[in-house]
Amino acid sequence: MSEALRVTVWNEFRHERSNPQVGAVYSDGIHAALAGPLREAGHEVRTATLDEPGHGLGGDVLASTDVLLWWGHKAHDEVEDEVARQVQSRVLDGMGLVALHSAHFSKPFKLLMGTSCDLKWRVADERERLWVVAPGHPVAEGLPERIELEREEMYGEPFDIPPPEELVLVSWFQGGEVFRSGCCFRRGRGRIFYFRPGHETYPTYHEPVVQRVVLNAVRWARPTAGPVPARGRSEPLERLG
């Protein structure tokens, strides 16, 4: 790792505590499973969860986050609108966002996309195979040409997102569907990566190859120290008239 980033992993952290099957897979929460490999890679990682005050994102947490990971599912509505808007605003200001799996329906992601983000789904213990369609993309670094997940939830097209600016991964599902599973978006000065896998009952985030995608996505989504745009009323730079 060339550059240590300040990463915050946000997790709803409900399934793990209410569903023993999920708790068995992610005993310390999905956030802990995601945070581990990022720490090992040298990043400065914090976690935050829904039931903490301010959802764990109060104070200067967002302001001091380079890249935010977001996993949520059954409690999207409990996220305060104001916090969702703050995440949106920070992305426009340069913070990276890695939206994971059911975060397609999270408030911050939907605000940033402007679309319904709806899709097909099915939980049936089926096989998913993610194909790299952009082998030269930074998110594909160190990956094999396909990722096999023996059991995952199915997400099917048409996925109602804006056309991604870069499409890195496309999934094949045993039941007959396809899905754009690794999607890059630029919004304001920030970058967003959507990554499909990660249903809570499967050990997906324990897979090293999946951890590698997340690691690459975090690195790709890091802020750039570009110009801070001046906006509003502007004096002419050339003589008029």
Give, as ranges, the residues between 81 and 120 that touch a second copy (CB under 8 A). Answer: 88, 92, 94, 111-116, 118-120
Contact of 111 with 85, CB cutoff 8 Å:
yes
* Of 5-13, 20-28, 50-58, 159-167: span binding a second copy (CB under 8 A): 159-167
224 makes contact with a second copy (CB under 8 A): yes
How far apart CA 198 and CA 196 sit, in angstroms, is: 7
Does 28 contact a second copy by CB under 8 A? no
Residue from the set 17, 39, 85, 122 that interacts with a second copy by CB under 8 A? 122
Q: Which residue number, 32 or 167, has a Cβ lying nearer to a second copy?
A: 167
Among 2, 20, 82, 208, binds a second copy (CB under 8 A): 2
Task: For residue 217, state whether it binds a second copy (rule: CB under 8 A).
Answer: no
Residue of 166, 201, 203, 207 interacting with a second copy (CB under 8 A): 166
Member of 73, 76, 107, 180 binding a second copy (CB under 8 A)? 180
- By the rule CB under 8 A, 53 interacts with a second copy: no
178 binds a second copy (CB under 8 A): yes
d(CA 138, CA 158): 26
- For tokens 């050339």, name the residue: 238
Give the length of the chain.
241
Please tell me whether residue 75 binds a second copy under the rule CB under 8 A. no
Rounded to whole angstroms, how far apart are CA atoms 181 and 106? Answer: 16
Q: For residues 225 and 231, give the distance between their C-alpha atoms in angstroms, rounded to a whole number.
A: 18
Query: Position 13: which residue type?
Result: F
Q: Which amino acid, residue 219?
A: R
Contacts of 160 by beta carbon, 8 Å cutoff, 6+ apart = 115, 116, 117, 118, 119
Residue 169: both structure tokens together: 């991964």
Residue 52 or 157: the one with the smaller Cβ distance to a second copy is 157
The binder of a second copy chosen from 170, 214, 215, 218 (CB under 8 A): 170
What is the DSSP track for 44-100? EEEEEETTSGGGGTTTTTTTT-SEEEEE--TTGGGS-HHHHHHHHHHHHTT-EEEEE
For the bound state, the minimum distance from the C-beta of residue 62 to a second copy, rounded and expressed in Å, comes to 16
Binding of a second copy by 59 (CB under 8 A): no
- Rule CB under 8 A: say whether 209 interacts with a second copy: no
Which of 187, 225, 218 has its CA nearest to residue 92?
187
Q: For a second copy, which residue of 138, 201, 207, 209 counts as binding (CB under 8 A)?
A: 138
**What minimum distance in Å lies between the beta carbon of 191 and a second copy?**
7
Q: How far is the CB of 131 from a second copy (least distance, A)?
A: 5
Q: Which is nearer to a second copy, 59 or 135 (CB)?
A: 135
